[in-house]
Structure 1
């Protein structure tokens, strides 16, 4: 009898330990094809620094069952978007790990895959509104347990961005922050603010746009809107339909990768306020005086540091460019070119910086630039990396037209000014550039007296 009781107790203890250590994972519907109809089932997976890689399934009605859910810490919700195949987002585990590395949080991954996975996108949109009501009820329960709405941050991707907005609207805009990563465009474009994300949905709303010509939302939706690479074609993404599924989703998904880089602080991406991407590329929007001592806003997780100045500015539209891969940030210079050719010259400029065995490249080819005698042409040069010390500079002038005569560009002076570091500009005088021929030289520090 004693042995039987002992074995029973041992078995129950083992089961309890197993239950306590069991890790909940994001739902993998493992469809192989999109589902046509499904019930809306929402799972909330809690991650903290005590269980950073092991999700705990949270009750929608009884928070007392989760002592690790410490409401004295801020809470961040991560909400995915449309999942036509039912597969888990590839980034979902990574984002919780990176957020917890940055800050001591309660991270709740919202798994609404049963509502988001559907061959009928319109049904997934309909489920977005239903899921928003479900999560609103959960957050109200958090309030009853003492949580402050100001300490809640929603990070929503695509449909998840609008869901965050709907939740925020349900809570009268008292949520602390909403970060929207390429909010969905289809079925939301043209709808009134109460049916989608808008700046009134939280105390602070920051938005990233990466696919405004297809799956994303084109117009500004937040207190600050970032348009990466103009918000359309992202570097490194396929350009033709022959690349398969990546052609449709790469630009859209880039929003998550850019945000992850900002969380881990791989490098800093400065954004510039501008009315259009064309003006930005032309270098007409490099002034950040409106932000005061804070300077140009930084894209991503740390934009919250600009909250007060951005709220005073109401809505701010900004642009930046990126590399095809991480680290995504580019380094910005102003390039000033003055020629002494008698006739007007038109063309493109490629600049290379050399230092410490490394090379940084900037190609200024979004449109042909005009060069006039004794007139300074200002160009915006964006380099793929930052060199702390520039030993040599290479220039190449091209026209893009093989039928035109290969004339020469007689450069009276060039000046390169780093836009993020307070250091003396680099200059060079009397350089002769032949079309498509690279010229390398050592620059010197510019002096005011040099004219």
Structure 2
């Protein structure tokens, strides 16, 4: 008898040590993990609605199961975020699931419902996955209706959709005549949806606020604007840091498309703001024509990601209220760029057309560089030229400025650019001092080093 009692104690100890759940507890559910074999033979649609809250941040409940203990965590008085993925050609779970759940719950105690339709999205035939999007939307409506019966409000519903998931979110919104609170589309799928009428894709009328991020408009993403505000990082095409050659393998095809998700994730940390500038084109932004947000003054520029709904500029935008915002990003997390006006007042007797390269050196010796690679600027006699400089590092104190003027040619005569004054005006952090340098000559293709000084008259 003592031996049996001892054995039972050992089993109990092992269970406690290794966290084995009792039979009365519901197991933790995870995203469906499939493989390329499943993609080849195809998968029938089966949806898991995985619920995470601050009460169960690491152990998802399954809301598909009637009378599931997961419903004890579903508080309909809270805001509910539905996260819906897109096409899964290999069947592997999205790499960003854990990160997005953790970061969202660090902001607030949401109901986070991850819509796992991997069985249905996993196939080598993209159109087979696209055909199932409306069925997924029907399943989501069934759950939302149940939540509404329990006292939830449509205002508290936030649909966050990636690729095909963005259109699924739009279909859900249409079922409620655009009365849900918000939809965010992360690089909505383009193939089979480009050119379709509003009822067959995501549209700004599907929710009270619709924001969209486009990162692969020349590939897997949707080209035209779809929301109240549409963000086009780096013009919406080639994202910095992504492979440029097919020799890079699968990353060549998916890196630009996925970047929309990682930009959104970056917005959740608030380490820096990824600011967009309402503008008519990417070229106009790069020429520095749109960076003051004057069109919607005194409203601030919109911020990409989770906090995009704080921007109210769409309320005073055109009718219908659709705005495009352009900006550049860095190649690595947190992706933010820091913008400056770089102004020149030149007095060369002849017009010089060329480019400017500028480097900033911090007080502790760090360096950041901006190649102003828009169209060549025309530096004319007694005229001011304002350029847009963008840096991937933010220096509170600048000890040196290094400037190079070039016409783009390394053969033939070398030109000089006579400068009466040069001014560096911070845009991202406008409270910082405006820096100047006076009366100097830039020699073509020769880097000139300056010690910047506060401007004598910032109203020059």
Normalised TM-score (structure 2): 0.91
Structure 2 residues without counterparts, runs of 5 or longer: none
Which one is further off, 170-179 or 335-344? 335-344
**Cross-structure match for 2:441:** 432
Secondary structure of 1:162's aligned partner: helix
8 Å Cα contact 1:335/1:379 also seen in 2: yes
**Cross-structure match for 1:348:** 355
User: Once the two structures are superposed, what CA deviation does each residue of 1:204-240 show, in whole Å capped at 9, x if it has no partner?
Assistant: 1010010111111111100111000000010011112
1:361 aligns with 2:350: no
User: 1-side partners of 2:378 and 2:292: how far apart?
Assistant: 22
8 Å Cα contact 1:289/1:295 also seen in 2: no
1:413 aligns with 2:417: no
Secondary structure of 1:285's aligned partner: coil
After TM superposition, give the deviation of residue 258 of structure 1 in Å.
0.3
Match of 1:381 among 389, 395, 402: 389
User: 2-side partners of 1:18 and 1:316: how far apart?
Assistant: 54
Which one is further off, 356-365 or 182-191? 356-365
Q: Let me know the Cα RMSD of the aligned residues.
A: 2.4
User: Once the two structures are superposed, what CA deviation does each residue of 1:129-187 show, in whole Å capped at 9, x if it has no partner?
Assistant: 21111111121111112211110111100000010000110121111110110001110
Secondary structure of 1:406's aligned partner: coil
* Residues 241/66 of structure 1: CA separation in 2 closer, same or farther (3 Å cut): same
**Cross-structure match for 1:126:** 131
Structure 1 residues without counterparts, runs of 5 or longer: none
The structure 1 segments of at least 4 consecutive aligned residues displaced by more than 6 Å after TM superposition are 13-16
Mapping 1:257-276, distance limit 5 Å: 257-276=262-281
After TM superposition, give the deviation of residue 98 of structure 1 in Å.
0.6
1:56 aligns with 2:65: no
User: 2-side partners of 1:174 and 1:19: how far apart?
Assistant: 40
Which one is further off, 189-198 or 428-437? 428-437
8 Å Cα contact 2:296/2:316 also seen in 1: no
Match of 2:236 among 231, 246, 259: 231
After TM superposition, give the deviation of residue 270 of structure 1 in Å.
1.5
User: 2-side partners of 1:404 and 1:209: how far apart?
Assistant: 43
User: 2-side partners of 1:161 and 1:440: how far apart?
Assistant: 49
**Cross-structure match for 1:442:** 451
Mapping 1:30-429, distance limit 5 Å: 30-31=35-36, 34-59=39-64, 62=67, 66-306=71-311, 308-313=312-317, 314-357=321-364, 358-420=366-428, 421-429=430-438
* Residues 177/449 of structure 1: CA separation in 2 closer, same or farther (3 Å cut): closer
After TM superposition, give the deviation of residue 373 of structure 1 in Å.
1.6
Normalised TM-score (structure 1): 0.93
Which one is further off, 200-209 or 143-152? 143-152
User: 1-side partners of 2:363 and 2:433: how far apart?
Assistant: 19
